[in-house]
Structure 1
Amino acid sequence: MLKRAVETERRKELGRFLRAMRERAEPARHGLSTGARRRAVGLLREEVAVLAGISSTWYTWLEQGREANPSAPVLNALADVLRLVPVEREHLFKLAKPEWLPEALPATSPDPWIADLLATLSPNPAYALNRAWDFAAWNDEAASLFGEFDREDPVRRNLLKRLFLDPAWRALFADWEVVARSAIAQFRAATVGCASAADIRAVLEPLKALSPEFERHWAEMRVEEAPIWSKRLVGPSGEVTTFDYFMLAPAGAGKEMTISLYRKRG
C-alpha cells in the first residue's frame, strides 16, 4: 500500500512539473501566434504533444499523473520542446524514470570527522547539512554568524525552516527572497530520489502549513543546482557584508551530506 502511494505521488509530481514547465514556455520561440485572442499561458498541451511527436491524449495522461512509461527519446523530446536547462532535464528524468536512480540511503548521523573538517575551515563559517537539510555539524564561526544552532528545536535545526520561519534569518539575508527561492529549487532537485521519505516530509509538510510564502514558491516547481555565488548578510548594526558561498560534497558522502562554506570577501 505504501509503495503504491509513493508511486502515485511520484506520477503526480511529474505531472505538476510538466505543467509548470509548459506554462513557462514561450510559444513565440516555436513560431506560434501570441495574439490578443490567445488566453493560454505558455504552450497548450496539444502544442507540446505535436512539437514532441506524441499524441495529445498520452501527454495529457502524463500531466494528470496517470500510469505511463515514457521512453528516454520521448523525455528528451519533451525537454527540448519545453526548453529545459540541464538540471531541469535531469529532474524530469528522475521523476519519470525512478528505476534509474540509485537506491536512496536512510538518514544517518554524520561521521565525527565532519566536525573536525569544519574546524579546519576556520576562520570561514561553515556547516554541514544532511539530506533533509538539518544542520548536522558546524564550526564556531558559523554559530557566531548565523546564531546558535539547536538540534532539539524543530525550526532552528533545519535550514529551510530557519529561512521561512525564523524572523532572525529573514533579517539576516539582505537578498532574502533570492536566497529563499533558490534554496527551495535546490532542495527539490536534491531530494527527488527520496521525496517520500519521512525525514523529507517532516520538513515539507510543516512548511507548507505554516508558511504561505513557502507553499507558493514550492508550487513553482523550479529546480536548480547549487550555485557558486555571493550572499549579502546584514550585521547587528545594519552593516552589510558580502560572502562568497560554496556548497561542497565530502568524498564518500554523495548527496547525503553537504558542507556550506562562507568566505568573507575583501
Structure 2
Amino acid sequence: MPFIERLTNETTPKRVYAYLKLVDEKTMRKEEVVNYLQPKFVDNTSFIANKVYSFVNNAQLISESSDGNIKLDIDRKEIATMKAFRKIIAKRVFQHEDYMFSRFTSWYLMRGEKVFEENAEALEIAFNQELNADRTLPNEYNKTNITGWRTWAAFLGFGYIHNKVLIPNTAVRLHDLLIDANIPKDKSMPLKQFMDWLHLAAPELDGGKINEVNQGDSPYTKQTLSLGLSSGLRALHDQGLLELKYVSDAIDTWYLQKASHDITDKVSEITIRGVEI
C-alpha cells in the first residue's frame, strides 16, 4: 500500500523523496541508507530514518534483495523530479477508496470554511463521529495522524498550510491531472463534461467515487463546487491554463463558492488550454 494508515510527522514528503533518491543513486544496505539520512553523530537512535524506511517499505516503494541491498520498486523516472514523485504517489493513493488518507482528504475538502476554525483535535472528533462511528476503534484517526496528513495533502496539491491550517485549493492537483489528460484542449466544453472527466481522474474530488461516500456533514449541494475546487479552478483561470465562462442561457449551470473575482460564482463552460505552465 502506498500509505501506512498512521501517518506521523517524521515521514515527510522530502524525507521520503530523499530516501528514494539515495537508493536510486547508490547500491546500499538498509543501515547505510539510514546513516546517510541521519548520521549517528547527529542522532544515535536513527529514529526518524528508521520511520522513513518503514514508510517506503510498507508503501512498496523499495524492497530488500536477497543480498541485503535496498532497491527501488518503482521506475526511476517516477522520482526524477519532486513533481514526478508527487504525481505517482497521488496516482497510487487515490486508486484505493478505503485508505484512511483518501477518505480523510475527501471529507476535509467537503467541510467548507469550517476548517478555518478547526484544529487537529477538532478535526479528529468530527471525522470519527461523522465517518467512523460504525467502524472499529483502530480505524479512528488521531490528531498526530492529521498533522502528518496535512503535510502530505499540501504536497499532493490540495492546498496551502497557514497557521497550521490547510487552506483548501486544488490548483496543483488539477494542474498535474490536466497536463497528462486525454481531454479536448483549446475547445470550449460544458462544465458538466469536464466534471464527468474529473470524477474518474480524481475520485477524491467533488463528485468522485471516494468523495461521494465520505462527505460527512457537508454544506454543499449538487452542482455547487467545494471551496478547494472553486479556488483551484479560479487559480488556473488566472494563470491562463484554463478559462471559465458563464453563458446566461446555458442549460446546465454550476456554482463556485462566491468570491471577489471575474468569475463570481456561476460557470457553464470551460476551455482547457494546451500550454503547460
* TM-score normalized with structure 1 length: 0.26
